Structure 1
Amino acid sequence: MNLLQPLLLASNSPRRKELLTGLGLAYTVKVKEVNEDFPDHLSPSEVAEFLASHKAEAYAQDISSEVLLTADTIVSAGGKILNKPATYAEAFEMLRLLSGTSHQVITGVCLLSKTFKHVFHDTTNVYFKSLTDAEIDYYLQEYQPYDKAGAYGIQEWIGMIGIERIEGSYFNVVGLPVQMLYTKLVELKVIA
């Protein structure tokens, strides 16, 4: 794939870096601290898009010929948004909530250049088996998923033993809907 414009990834996520590298795209990483507060009245998909767009706006003055890529992944269970857990107890509570039920993982993406701004999202339904307290404790002790929305990584042990099925993009749950992103980059003539 040929990049027609330089790609700037505004994320420090090792998973997003790995996925972009897997697409065969060269990119540069630039990271800033950006407030991740959002209005309470937004739906979960609107929150994901709002946060991706909000992050992009923080970099708007920094781009010249580049296309900026920002993303935000949220977990929504029963209409409640599960952010990154701050403590073991919070992570444990999140995984108990997800246990034996389904939830949605929504990744909002913003592509921003000097000539366009394109915001979109993808949603994946994830189905967990009933998890035992011992399984949750083992996962939290061994993997410490405090940098992950919903307190889990699908690619880690808990995903291997706990996720019965998904409907939608696996990579969206990892942190970037790469198929949808690839299609948008082609449509926007960023890659050829």
Structure 2
Amino acid sequence: MKLADKKIYLASKSPRRRELLRQIGIDFELLLNDKEVDEQVLPNEKPADYVARVTRDKLLSARQTMLYRQLPMRPILSADTTVVVDDLILGKPADIREAVDMITRLSGRTHQVLTSVAVAFQEQMWQITQYSDVAFEALTDDMIRAYCSTQEPFDKAGGYGIQGLASIFIKDIAGSHSGIMGLPLFETAQLLQKTGMRILPQATL
């Protein structure tokens, strides 16, 4: 079966993932799951296993929604990002206290950002997890409190976004800037091409 059109379904609420897909010219339609995926960390679950499982569960749930609603057959893309320090998974802070605790943990240290991406089309699924290292400068208590008094920490894993105000704290990264934002574009393009989708327009020269 061929693609119904050159559009994909995006199983994510993240505005940053939408922005990144538009950056590489991917047309998409949101396909939010009818059933919320459990994002609780399982006992003894490793960060890489956690982020891959949540991504896969989002994808499978979205696929069920597509089939149930009898929507046109298109590739489905899902992703999940987690921040890890000392093998501790930092999710989205629930309040300012959690935000302060998270940024304090990251201050003056290098942590990992893991983003897993999965794509399904027809009966096939492909998945990859991208790893990046992010080094924060040492922050004063006043800097941490000032940052956490903004709204920026509260919808982002680890309490910060590389594309926002917290960018002034980041002295070095090793990995994928777009992956740290929430969707590694190199890996995403590789997966979408497996479905038969053309990312670049056909050459006319």
Are 2:165 and 1:165 equivalent residues in the alignment?
A: no
* CA shift for structure 1 position 56: 1.1
Aligned length: 190
Query: Secondary structure at 2:39's aligned position in 1?
Result: coil
Structure 2 CA distance for aligned equivalents of residues 155 and 175 of structure 1: 10
- Against the structure 1 CA distance between its residues 119 and 128, is the aligned structure 2 distance closer, same or farther, given a 3 Å change threshold? same
The superposition leaves residues 131-180 of structure 1 with CA deviations (integer Å, 9 ceiling, x where unpaired) of: 11111112122233211000001111121x21010000011110101111
* CA shift for structure 1 position 3: 9.2
TM-score (norm 1): 0.92
Unaligned 5+ segments in structure 1 are: none
Are 2:97 and 1:89 equivalent residues in the alignment?
A: yes
Structure exhibiting the larger radius of gyration computed from Cα positions: 2
1:168-179 maps to which residues of 2 (within 5 A)?
168-179=175-186
Structure 2 CA distance for aligned equivalents of residues 61 and 51 of structure 1: 15
Q: Which residue of 2 aligns with 1:100?
A: 108
Structure 2 CA distance for aligned equivalents of residues 138 and 110 of structure 1: 36
Alignment check: 8 A CA contact 1:5 1:65 kept: no
Structure 2 CA distance for aligned equivalents of residues 4 and 31 of structure 1: 19
- Against the structure 1 CA distance between its residues 120 and 180, is the aligned structure 2 distance closer, same or farther, given a 3 Å change threshold? same
Unaligned 5+ segments in structure 2 are: 67-71, 200-205
The superposition leaves residues 51-80 of structure 1 with CA deviations (integer Å, 9 ceiling, x where unpaired) of: 100111112223351111111100000110
Of the three residues 40, 44, 51, the one matched with 1:41 is 44
Alignment check: 8 A CA contact 2:128 2:187 kept: no
Of the three residues 143, 147, 150, the one matched with 1:139 is 147
Q: Which amino acid is the alignment partner of residue 43 of structure 1?
A: K
* CA shift for structure 1 position 113: 2.0
TM-score (norm 2): 0.87
Q: CA RMSD in A?
A: 1.8
Identity %, equivalent residues:
33
Query: Secondary structure at 1:146's aligned position in 2?
Result: helix
Q: Which residue of 2 aligns with 1:148?
A: 156
Of the three residues 176, 180, 191, the one matched with 2:187 is 180
Structure 2 CA distance for aligned equivalents of residues 104 and 4 of structure 1: 37
- Return the structure number with greater relative CO, CA threshold 8 A, min gap 6: 1
Structure 2 CA distance for aligned equivalents of residues 130 and 3 of structure 1: 51
* CA shift for structure 1 position 128: 0.4
Alignment check: 8 A CA contact 1:3 1:25 kept: no
